[in-house]
Amino acid sequence: MRAVTGLGLGQKMSVQMSQAMRQALEYLQMDSAGLCGALVAAAADNPCLQVTLPDPEPDAPRPGRAPPRWRPQAGGDGGEAERMANAAPGLHAHVARQIGLLVRAPREAAIAAVLAEALEPSGWLGAPLAGLAARAGCTLAEAEAVLARLQQMEPAGLFARTLAECLALQLAEREALSAPMQRLLENLPLLARGEAGKLQERCGVGAEDLAALVAQLRRLDPKPGAHFGDAPELRRAPDLIVTRAADGWQVALNREALPAVSVTDQGASPGALATAKWIARTLSRRNRMVLEVAAHVVARQQAFLDAGPAALVPLTCAEVARALGYHDSTISRVRSGLLLQTPRGMLPMEAFFARTGSRGQGRVPAPALRALLAEIIAAEPAAAPLGDDALVAVLAGRGIAVSRRAVANHRARAGIPPARDRGKGGRTS
């Protein structure tokens, strides 16, 4: 057998993703906090790019404005706080209970009550500590000692006096208050002005590390009292806000959390100017796409917004992609990590997409499944509660296929006991 060598021609098609395309996709799947970090890092290397970050600080108290009028009892039973007519009664009741656990001595409890009376709905201390000490009839040192005790409350950041202190309390709880992060907190005005080069110098970090620090900082909650009822992972500024308008539900980008960029010709190289313009265009496209996807999701979820979780529509990335003319992976990137503020609370966009169970070609999201279980169990005969097998059958009759184990898990997570504990004569779950 003889080996034969020769030359031949062939064609091979391949798609190579450019660095610009990868960067655009990264921007697309970032939440507002990650976007802030990435843009600050980009501005550190590009003098033509100016980044303006939104100010997360609560409104400053107006001169002469009285603090919220509520006075927790030293015993911490929350009786007075529960009757508060102000915003966030859950926060007030929580503070009232925690004072009784953190402060024992009667004199310290009296000081704590004065400090708590000045607590803003944002969770910040709404008056200068020296004035509160005078009101409580104690020294400034005594007031500082009690304040330090109150700042140990959960969620971290309550009773802060400044934005830097609020964020530092949260970082300390997470054991993330590193030396570079501490220096970043000391230079928040530079961060607000987008002076990334000076921040790198003062924090002693490179552009990539600065981006990570800024993103971590922006994911903290500058108003820990305002979102008191939310889960810890939802205690940050929402990326989108859903409201009811005269013609139905509408969604808008949360400009208070979204960074803004501008391009200036600082005599830099043409390449730097072109890159800055590309970033500005990419950010604009990213924002339009996020808003387009969110608007479609809200339009499909109007029943949920009107009636609650039981009316949640099971969406899939493929379905939304077909409707909007995008690829499935694009929708998957957009929905990742985004938070929506709705009249029904703060929700991740992923909550509107299918996760559990199946209905036809779609899947029923976990919140909807739990709401349906609660609805079915509420209507069951008192003398014959439905066991988990019976619940599976009822769901199947509604076109929802789900396993018995899944029913048991979701029933338990919804706080519903098994049938044997819901009444006499029920089936065993």
Closest C-alpha to 52, from 325, 258, 355:
258
Lowest mean pLDDT among 69-73, 173-177, 386-390, 414-418: 69-73
Which residue type sits at 354? Answer: A
Q: Output the pLDDT for position 14.
A: 43
Higher pLDDT, 376 or 289: 289
Q: What is the pTM assigned to this prediction?
A: 0.67
The band of 4, judged by pLDDT with boundaries at 50, 70 and 90, is low
Q: Parse the chain into domains and list their residue ranges.
A: 79-150, 236-351, 358-421
Cα–Cα distance, 148 to 321 (Å, whole number): 51
Task: Count Cα atoms within 13 angstroms, Cβ side, for 163.
Answer: 18
Segments of 199-351 assigned E as strands: 240-245, 248-253, 260-263, 339-342, 345-348
Is there a cis peptide before residue 155, judged by omega within 30 degrees of 0? yes
Q: Output the pLDDT for position 423.
A: 66
Q: Output the pLDDT for position 31.
A: 85
Higher pLDDT, 23 or 254: 254
- Work out the average pLDDT over 101-113: 90
**DSSP structure string for 121-145:** TTSBB-S-HHHHHHHHTS-HHHHHH
Say if CB 160 and CB 1 are below 8 A apart: no
The set of residues, in sequence order, having a beta carbon less than 8 Å from that of 49 and lying 6+ positions away, is 39, 42, 43, 261, 263, 275, 276, 279, 280
Fold of 358-421: Arc Repressor Mutant, subunit A (1.10.10)
Cα–Cα distance, 329 to 1 (Å, whole number): 51
Each residue's pLDDT tens digit, 352-381: 886 555 554 346 667 777 778 888 888 888
Q: Output the pLDDT for position 360.
A: 45
CB atoms within 10 A of CB 294: 23
